[in-house]
Amino acid sequence: MVRARAIPKRIAIVAAIAAAVLYAGLVVVRVLYPIGYADLVRASADVEGLDAATLCSLIRAESRFHPDAVSPRGAVGLMQIMPETGAWIAERMGLPGFDSRNLLDPETNLRFGAWYLRYLLDRFGKLDLALMAYHAGPTRVEGWLVSGEVPFSGTRAYVERVLHAISIYRTALRWPIVVRITPSIPL
C-alpha cells in the first residue's frame, strides 16, 4: 500500500522538475530575445503590412526594447531613429509639428520605425537590402548596389542578426502565453 502512493508522488516531483526546467529555459529565451510593447508592435506592423516578428527582431538589434535608448550618433528610441529622419518621416506622413523628443515615446517611435521600414522595403524590394538601408542608410546601400561593393562587415552582421531572430520572435508571438508568463528582461 505504501509503495502505490510513492509512485504518484514521484511522478508529481518529476513533473514539477520538468516544468521548472522548461520555465527556466523560456526565461532564458526571453532574456536573450525580449519582447516589449507587443500590442504596439503588432499594431504598427499591421498598419504598415509588416510582420510583427520582423519589427521585434529589428527593435532587439537597435535598442533591445529600451524606449529611452540614445545611440552615440544620436539615434533615438526603440527603433533608433535619427531626429532628421524622424522629421522627414513626419513630413512624408503629413504630421505637422514634429518634435524630436516625441521619438522617445514608444508609440510614436514604433509608428515612425514601421513606416520607415515599409518605405525601405518598397524602395529596395528585399528585406535584407531594406535592413542594410535601415542600418547604414539608403544612399549608402544604393552606392553598394551600383558599385558592387561589399557592405560594411558591421552592416552584414547586423542584417544576419536581425534575420536570425525573426523565426524566434515568430514562435514567441505565436504563443502569447509564453510572453505573459515569462518576464522580459532587456539587457
Q: What CATH number is associated with residue 72?
A: 1.10.530.10
Supply the pTM of this predicted model: 0.86
Domain that holds residue 80: 36-175
Q: Is residue 45 part of a domain?
A: yes
Pick the catalytic residue: 48, 62, 84, 149?
62
Indicate the pLDDT class of residue 14, thresholds 50, 70 and 90: confident
pLDDT tops 80 at residue 84: yes
In a domain, 133, yes or no: yes
Domain annotation covers residue 72: yes
Q: What HEC string does the chain produce?
A: CHHHHHHHHHHHHHHHHHHHHHHHHHHHHHHHCCCCCHHHHHHHHHHHCCCHHHHHHHHHHHCCCCCCCECCCCCECCCCECHHHHHHHHHHCCCCCCCHHHHHCHHHHHHHHHHHHHHHHHHHCCHHHHHHHHHHCHHHHHHHHHHCCCCCHHHHHHHHHHHHHHHHHHHHHHCHHHHHHCCCCCC
Counted residue by residue, the chain has a size of 187
Which residue, 83, 74, 81, 159, is CA-closest to 124? Answer: 159
- Residue 27 pLDDT: 64
Binned at pLDDT 50, 70 and 90, residue 149 comes out as confident
pLDDT value for 114:
98
Q: Is residue 82 over pLDDT 70?
A: yes
pLDDT for residue 83:
98
Whether 142 is a known active-site residue: answer: no
Return the higher-pLDDT residue of 94 and 15.
94
Q: Is the pLDDT of residue 20 over 80?
A: no
Number of Cβ atoms within 10 Å of the Cβ of 134: 28
Contacts of 50 (CB under 8 A, 6+ apart): 44, 114, 117, 118, 121
Condensed to tens digits (0 to 9), the pLDDT of residues 43-72 reads 999 999 999 999 999 999 999 999 999 999
Query: Is 118 inside a domain boundary?
Result: yes
In this prediction, residue 15 has a pLDDT band, given cuts at 50, 70 and 90, of confident
Domain-located, residue 18? no
- Give the number of domains in the chain: 1
Give domain status of residue 53, yes or no.
yes
- 11-15, 79-83, 139-143, 180-184, range with the lowest pLDDT: 180-184
Contacts of 124 (CB under 8 A, 6+ apart): 130, 133, 138, 141
